Amino acid sequence: MNNNYTLFNRQSLQNYFSIDEDLEDAVDFLKSPASFRSFDLGLKELLRKKGYTGSEENGEMADYLYAKLKALPSDIERETVYAWFAGKHRPKIEAGSRRRIYEICFALQLDYEETLWFFHHVYYDRAFNCHTVDEAVFYYALLHGNTWREALNVINAVENANDDGLAGKGTDDGEPPFYTQYVQCKISDFSSTWELEEFLIANRDSFHSWNSTALNVINELMRELTGDEDAKLKIDNLKRTLSRRISSGNAVKDLPLISKKDYDSFGLLIKEILFDAQNSADSPAEYLLETIGGKNIRANTFVLDRLLCTVSGMPKNIDIPYVVRNNFPGKKVMSDVLDATKISTSKSYDSIRKMIVLLDFYAFWACIKVGISDVSDIDKSTLYEIYQEEADSRLKLCGYENLYAGNPYDWIFLCASHSEDPLAFFRAYIADLLPE
């Protein structure tokens, strides 16, 4: 058994550079159950970190955790805990399972840092959306060593408080707007559960929606990729011009001259297509029409098809890790993430984070490919570090953890970023995972 997955997965990124020589091995690495920390191994590692010295047998470890959960109390069934340790199934990465993960954290008396590790390295989802009352309370409780019962008492007090007195005070005195990071910083300064209750009750109305920063970031990335409506009109005019020339019987190979102003207004998707047309096609005009003719260049399906060569998400093949398949960007996932009403109360943090990672990856490497970013004096390893730093910064802004090579989904992007041609490697990689 590999006990240091963080180091192992980070080192593995160096092994796959060429599409022709390394792609198949990279796909095999992702599909191998031994490549990434499974939930059952993560649970066992967590128990040992918290002082468990009993037998390594699955049954005895399951009995130990089950007893801890019952003492909370928790309604997680014994059969469920046994199935976790046997590796038969894991908690789904969805809203309905998050409570169970917190119950494990409280049952084993994890502190804040240990909880972050468990969510990020074992469960593979975001920890502590402090813009919801229950997770704001869990955040405070795990920071201060409070029990599960104490946390539930605070949640009940907040939910059952009347609207008199504290409620409605809000964030007066020129305090910042209610962004999630602000809430988390505010709560971390409290020294008593009374202060926490007072804050949550007074600002209860502000805990009915969240994800506003993530939506802004995703919309910004989408605009960078697709351009604005004016750019679409210019592209449509270009397509009509080329269609008329070709239909008239003229042998048209070259594209009409595109002004710098028009080019600058195009999104990265069109800029990359124009780059490929000019650099790898015998007839740039025909290549352009074949690629975007009859298509809405600002549609979600066009974006997904260009980035992933599919709009359907990832097939439910059992040899592809669940952590990759679950909420893999597809038409439905993308539509929900871009819906301002749905995302404002969505607890599908996995789907939101995956969309940010995908769009950010493409934006960074497409800017380099088409020459928007001048990297002539930057070596490949430094360029990779810049990519990861910028991606981590964007994720942190939205309340998510950094890219992590031990997460199979993140690993795909980090591996492609190490390759000789990140966009080409990534597309070929995804194509190999999809059914023919």
Residue 379: the pLDDT is 92
Res 34 pLDDT > 80: yes
Mean pLDDT over each residue of the chain, to the nearest integer: 92
What is the Rg, in whole angstroms, of the alpha carbon atoms belonging to the chain? 25
Question: Residue range 266-293: average pLDDT?
Answer: 90
Q: At what angle do helices 268-280 and 284-292 cross, to 10 degrees?
A: 140
Res 232 pLDDT > 90: no
Report pTM: 0.94
Q: Is the pLDDT of residue 1 over 60?
A: no
**pLDDT for the residue numbered 243:** 83
Higher pLDDT: 182 or 247? It is 182
Report the alpha-carbon angle 191-196-200, nearest 5. Answer: 160
Q: Which of 333, 356, 334, 410 is nearest to 94 (CA)?
A: 333
Q: Between 173 and 294, where is the model more confident?
A: 294
Least confident of 35-49, 174-188, 375-389: 174-188
What percent of the chain clears pLDDT 90, i.e. is strictly above it? 77
pLDDT of 281: 72
pLDDT at 249 > cutoff 70? no
Distance of CA 145 to the CA centre of its chain: 29
- The full DSSP string for 34-58 is TSS--HHHHHHHHHHHTT--S---H
Q: What CA–CA distance (Å, rounded) separates 261 from 137?
A: 51
Rounded mean pLDDT of 362-379?
94
pLDDT at position 362, please?
98
Please give the pLDDT value at position 25: 97
pLDDT at 173 over 70: no
Residue listed under structure tokens 């990672």: 357
Do the beta carbons of residue 260 and residue 332 sit within 8 Å? no
CA distances from 167 to 63, 136, 191 (A): 44, 17, 20
Given a cut of 90, whether residue 164 has pLDDT beyond it is no
pLDDT greater than 80 at residue 225: yes
Grade residue 252 by pLDDT with cuts at 50, 70 and 90. Answer: low
- Which region among 20-24, 187-191, 316-320, 395-399 has the lowest average model confidence (pLDDT)? 316-320
Contacts for 165 with CB less than 8 Å, ≥ 6 apart: none
